Amino acid sequence: MINKKLIALGAVSLGLTFIEGCMINNLRNRDNAENKVPAIVKKVTQINTNYSTNNVTNNINLQAKVNVEPVKPKKQYSAFPFKQEIPFIEFHAKRVGIEPELLMAVRMAENGGRGKEYGILTSGSGRKAYDNDKGYEYNGQFYNYRIGSEKQMAWSARTLANALGDFDVEKRNGKFRGDKLDYLQKRYAPSKAINDPRGLNGNWKGNVNRAYLKVKNSN
């Protein structure tokens, strides 16, 4: 007579063995997948549901935050004093479609303290959006800012790119008669701005132009 208890125990044992085998295969598949992660992605640092991908909203479904490996600078830019920022400047300039030398020139002209390196100053709703901003999207993936000045850098790059795009439209339509730097100053560092009581913005165009030529001619 067949012992029903033995049959039941055997079935449980086979079931556990099957489950363990599936778990091992899943772990192997996961390890293989991790080994195939592109070199540009360093690692998944944490899971977070409270960050912004468009500088306004911060209620995104569960996603992974990752860091991008800094790349070696394509040029040395010997006249640019902030060497650590060069590969990041090249990346963000390319990301928004502007010259890295222009972003470097703004950095040199502004030369602000911590959190103001590129002269990005916000207030009201803009300040809230800036404070909530933890990174940026690139090729459909969200990335953390990697160095202290990178948020300023990214916002500066986007501000310059937007201004240059508007300049082309207004110049073509005859609504603006100055040159690009005149327009950039109007948008980036306008004269008589509330946050410029000493009138230093009046020197912005000249300072950026000199820094631009210095960096451009240093390679």
pLDDT, one tens digit per residue, over 138-176 is 988 999 999 999 999 999 999 999 999 999 999 999 999
DSSP three-state, residue 41: strand
Mean pLDDT lowest among 2-16, 28-42, 74-88, 200-214 = 28-42
- pLDDT-based confidence at residue 191 (cuts at 50, 70, 90): confident
Q: Which range of residues forms the domain containing residue 31?
A: 4-36
The Cα-based distances of 48 to 30, 33, 86, 145, 170 in angstroms read 21, 22, 29, 15, 41
Query: Does residue 18 lie in a domain region?
Result: yes
Q: Please indicate, yes or no, whether residues 176 and 84 belong to a single structural domain of this protein.
A: yes
* pLDDT over 50 at 32, yes or no: no
Query: Does residue 192 lie in a domain region?
Result: yes
Q: Please indicate, yes or no, whether residues 113 and 193 belong to a single structural domain of this protein.
A: yes
pLDDT of residue 194: 85
Query: Does residue 65 lie in a domain region?
Result: no
Q: Please indicate, yes or no, whether residues 26 and 97 belong to a single structural domain of this protein.
A: no
Q: Please indicate, yes or no, whether residues 113 and 189 belong to a single structural domain of this protein.
A: yes
Query: Does residue 109 lie in a domain region?
Result: yes
Q: How many domains does the chain have?
A: 2
- pLDDT-based confidence at residue 14 (cuts at 50, 70, 90): very low
pLDDT of residue 125: 82
The mean pLDDT of the chain is 76
State mean pLDDT over 128-142. Answer: 92
Write the DSSP string, 110-124: H--STT-TT-----H
Q: Please indicate, yes or no, whether residues 107 and 166 belong to a single structural domain of this protein.
A: yes
pLDDT, one tens digit per residue, over 63-93 is 334 455 556 777 889 999 999 999 999 999 9
pLDDT of residue 35: 38
